[in-house]
């Protein structure tokens, strides 16, 4: 196959440890172990896609089996063994795609194959890619061989999901975590590839490719290949063209949008978003970009332009820094929470575009076009107004007695106070008995609290700012806390609620039941009831309702 016909991700695949990008620590450790002849039974490489797991596995295989030895390892003119490993046709290097061959039968074939010594090289090597896909039975069948393999046998595992690999396997391997490639290293690498391919690509377009690839070399090369193929030979791949090809939009548009949200310019915000949407940007992509922008606004003082992974240019970085000076951190944190919530909503709405527009409108009502100093002044003024309002509130009585009709809350507030029945707010000692406590619960519409007091509480002692009770097993676990808070709210004084070992009085509900039982018992003794039974022998008195006068 002609080398020039290969895709860039294969054409520029590293062939030696020196060619590896961003994995210097891994390369150095493996090199030292081979030099000292301390090669482990098994290697385990883990990391995100495109950082060099399978590539490193092949480089290790070449390092162990090169005909020239490790000291004279092939770098350009590859020997027979190295060439065969590069092309995946070496008889002693067995590569297994665990995603498609995950059964125990496949691993049994490996074990059977491992019994025979290598035919043309020093080591027989099994490379299992995406090894987390192997079944439990397949892993179990490998355990013994993996722990005590023949001296000529080595295992190399590669996975993107290390948590799915059994701990018993991980403990038998020398594990290497391959890190994401740094943006600066990846930028220099694809720029070098671009020059070798004689492609015309601007630095801004390359930076966009680096950002989208998220530290993956393979993704970066695939995007570069796609960009170069999208244009004629004499055209340059600039930032605007790259944004159209890769489905990304100009970050400055998003900064303008953010600024208009803070200013409350509803019409302009929707106009800018619709322009972005018309460029073919998916709502989820937009939301993720918006989240990233909020992060930059919140932490811009802690960042440098380089640390933004080329997401921002000089002008955008300075604009964010300038705008962030007039935005409170609380607003940005609220923005972040609303954005995360909207990201979840997108999975349940049919028209995601409309959901994004409503999301932007909601953000406008969270933000204020004020400087930090003005905000502080307003907060001081608000506290002053609130204090005055509370003082005035004490001198008025907002609760009124409904007469001959059912009234809603708004009507109750408008009515004049009834001083004979209302409890004055300034009187902090109006709850002097258990009965008054039940009454105030009714007036304040604390139905749950009243229910617990009547049904599950046995009163032992009621004193000023102190209530001693016993209770049954059905009492709500938050009752004491809730009652304490309400008493403090109603009286503006602290109350002590203690739980007593004494049995106390029967609960209100139990008292009512006992009274009814006594009443039924007394009625059954009357001549009227006896006469009734003479006429209806099967009758039985089970309940009594007293008629109100």
434-505: CATH topology is GMP Synthetase; Chain A, domain 3 (3.30.300)
Is the C-alpha dihedral spanning 318, 322, 325, 329 positive or negative?
negative
Does residue 366 register a pLDDT over 80? no
> 298-327, pLDDT tens digit by residue?
888 887 766 666 667 777 888 888 888 888
pLDDT at site 429: 52
Q: In the structure, what pLDDT confidence band is assigned to residue 57 with cuts at 50, 70 and 90? A: very high
Q: Which of 252-266, 363-377, 459-473, 525-539 shows the highest mean pLDDT?
A: 252-266
Say if CB 209 and CB 239 are below 8 A apart.
no
pLDDT computed for residue 306 by the predictor: 62
| CA nearest neighbour of 323 among 365, 366, 369, 357 | 369
Cα–Cα distance, 193 to 186 (Å, whole number): 11
Instruction: Tell me how many helices (H) and strands (E) the chain has.
Output: 24, 8
| pLDDT band at residue 408 under the 50/70/90 scheme | very low
* Range with lowest mean pLDDT among 146-150, 187-191, 434-438: 434-438
Q: What are the residue ranges spanned by the domains of the chain?
A: 3-177, 183-246, 284-364, 434-505, 511-549
Angle between helices 239-246 and 217-229 (to 10 degrees): 110
Convert the pLDDT of each residue in 199-231 to its tens digit: 888 888 898 888 888 889 999 999 999 988 887
Beta-sheet pairing, 466-471 with 457-463: antiparallel
pLDDT at residue number 309: 62
Is the predicted pLDDT of residue 280 greater than 90, yes or no? no
CA dihedral 297, 300, 303, 307 (to 10 degrees): 30
pLDDT range class, residue 395, cuts 50, 70, 90: very low
Residues 6+ apart with CB under 8 A from 212: 219, 223, 246, 248
pLDDT at 548 over 70: no
Could you tell me the pLDDT band of residue 536, with boundaries at 50, 70 and 90?
Answer: confident
**Across 262-271, 387-396, 402-411, 417-426, which has the greatest mean pLDDT?**
262-271
Query: In the predicted model, is pLDDT for residue 196 greater than 60?
Result: yes
Percentage of residues in the chain having pLDDT higher than 70? 85
pLDDT at residue 374 is higher than 90: no
Could you tell me the fold of the domain covering 3-177? Rossmann fold (3.40.50)
DSSP 366-403: T--S--HHHHHHHHHHHHHHHHHHHHHHHTS-------
Higher pLDDT, 430 or 148: 148
Contacts of 86 (CB under 8 A, 6+ apart): 15, 58, 62, 78
Which of 139, 113, 137 is closest to 126 using CA atoms? 113
The residue-averaged pLDDT of 270-294 equals 87
- Give the pLDDT confidence of 438-497 residue by residue, as tens digits: 888 888 878 888 888 888 888 888 888 888 888 877 788 788 888 888 888 888 888 888
Report which listed range, 12-26, 466-480, 525-539, is most confident: 12-26
Q: Which of left, alpha, beta for 342 (phi over 0: left; psi -120 to 50: alpha)?
A: alpha
Nearest alpha-carbon partner for 227 in 251, 244, 252, 249: 244
pLDDT band at 399 (very low <50, low <70, confident <90, very high): very low
Q: For residue 57, how many other CB atoms are within 10 A of its CB?
A: 22
Rounded CA-CA distance 246/227 in Å is 8
Locate 450 and state its tokens: 């009243």
- DSSP secondary structure letter of residue 173: S
Taking only the tens place, the pLDDT of each residue in 491-518 is: 888 888 887 777 777 777 777 778 878 8
Write the pLDDT tens digit of every residue in 244-253: 888 777 778 8
User: 387: pLDDT confidence band, cut at 50, 70 and 90?
Assistant: low
User: Half-sphere exposure of 170 toward its Cβ, with a 13 Å CA cutoff?
Assistant: 14
Q: What's the rounded Cα separation, in Å, for the pair 300 and 373?
A: 20
* 398 pLDDT higher than 60: no
Average per-residue pLDDT in the chain?
A: 81
Q: Which one has a higher pLDDT value, 250 or 115?
A: 115
CATH code, 183-246: 1.10.8.60
How far apart CA 347 and CA 214 sit, in angstroms, is: 24
- The residues, ordered by sequence, that sit 6+ positions from 211 with a Cβ below 8 Å of its Cβ are 183, 309, 310, 311
In this structure, the number of other CB atoms found within 10 A of the CB of residue 242 comes to 24
* Least-confidence region, from 11-15, 200-204, 327-331, 521-525: 521-525
CB 295 within 8 A of CB 342: no
Using a CB cutoff of 8 Å and minimum separation of 24, what contacts does 330-338 make? 331/366, 331/367, 331/368, 332/294, 332/297, 332/298, 333/298, 334/366, 335/294, 335/363, 335/366, 335/367, 336/291, 336/294, 336/295, 336/298, 338/362, 338/363, 338/366
Confidence label for 30 from pLDDT (cuts 50, 70 and 90): very high
Q: How confident is the model at residue 411 (pLDDT cuts 50, 70, 90)?
A: very low
Tokens for 520?
Answer: 């039924």
Q: Position of tokens 């609760």?
A: 399
């Amino acid at each position: 196959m002609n080398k020039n016909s290969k895709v860039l991700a294969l054409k520029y695949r590293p062939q030696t440890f020196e060619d590896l990008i961003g994995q210097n620590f891994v390369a150095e450790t493996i090199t030292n172990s081979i030099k000292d002849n301390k090669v482990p039974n098994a290697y385990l490489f883990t990391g995100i896609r495109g950082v060099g797991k399978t590539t490193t596995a092949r480089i290790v295989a070449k390092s162990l089996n090169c005909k020239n030895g490790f000291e004279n390892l092939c770098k350009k003119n590859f020997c027979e063994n190295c060439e065969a490993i590069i092309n995946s046709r070496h008889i002693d290097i067995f590569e297994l795609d665990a995603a498609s061959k995950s059964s125990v039968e496949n691993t049994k074939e490996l074990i059977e194959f491992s019994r025979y010594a290598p035919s043309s090289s020093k080591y027989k090597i099994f490379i299992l890619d995406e090894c987390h896909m192997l079944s439990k039975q397949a892993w179990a069948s490998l355990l013994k061989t993996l722990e005590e393999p023949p001296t000529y046998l080595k295992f190399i595992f590669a996975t993107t999901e290390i948590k799915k690999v059994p701990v018993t396997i991980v403990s038998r391997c020398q594990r290497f975590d391959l890190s994401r490639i740094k943006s600066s290293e990846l930028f220099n690498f694809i720029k070098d590839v671009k020059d070798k391919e004689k492609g015309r690509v601007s630095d801004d377009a390359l930076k966009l490719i680096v950002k989208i690839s998220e530290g993956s070399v393979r993704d970066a090369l695939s995007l570069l290949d796609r960009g170069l193929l999208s244009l004629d030979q004499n055209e340059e791949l600039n930032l605007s063209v790259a944004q159209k090809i890769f489905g990304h939009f100009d970050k400055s548009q998003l900064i303008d949008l953010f600024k208009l949200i803070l200013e409350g310019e509803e019409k302009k915000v929707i106009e800018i978003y619709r322009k972005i949407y018309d460029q073919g940007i998916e709502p989820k992509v937009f939301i993720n970009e918006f989240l990233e922008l909020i992060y930059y606004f919140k932490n811009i003082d802690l960042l440098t332009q380089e640390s933004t992974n080329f997401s921002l240019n000089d002008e955008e970085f300075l604009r964010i820094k300038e705008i962030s000076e007039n935005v409170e951190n609380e607003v940005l944190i609220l923005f972040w929470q609303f954005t995360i919530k909207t990201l979840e909503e997108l999975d349940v709405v049919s028209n995601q575009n409309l959901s994004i527009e409503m999301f932007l409108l909601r953000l406008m009502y969270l933000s204020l076009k004020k400087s930090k100093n003005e905000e502080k002044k307003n907060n001081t003024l608000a506290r002053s107004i609130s204090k005055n309002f509370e003082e005035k509130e004490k001198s008025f009585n907002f609760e009124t007695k409904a007469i001959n009709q059912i009234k809603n809350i708004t009507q109750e507030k408008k009515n004049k106070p009834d001083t004979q029945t209302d409890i004055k707010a300034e009187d902090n000692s109006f709850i002097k008995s258990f009965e008054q406590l039940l009454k105030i619960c009714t007036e304040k519409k604390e139905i749950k609290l009243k229910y617990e007091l009547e049904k599950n509480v046995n009163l032992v002692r009621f004193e000023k700012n102190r209530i001693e009770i016993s209770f049954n097993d059905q009492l709500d676990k938050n009752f004491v806390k809730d009652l304490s808070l309400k008493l403090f709210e109603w009286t503006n004084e602290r109350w002590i609620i203690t739980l007593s070992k004494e049995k106390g009085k029967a609960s209100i509900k139990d008292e009512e039941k006992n009274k009814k039982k006594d009443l039924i018992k007394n009625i059954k003794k009357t001549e009227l009831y006896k006469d009734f039974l003479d006429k209806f022998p099967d009758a039985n008195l089970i309940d009594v309702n007293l008629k109100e006068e």
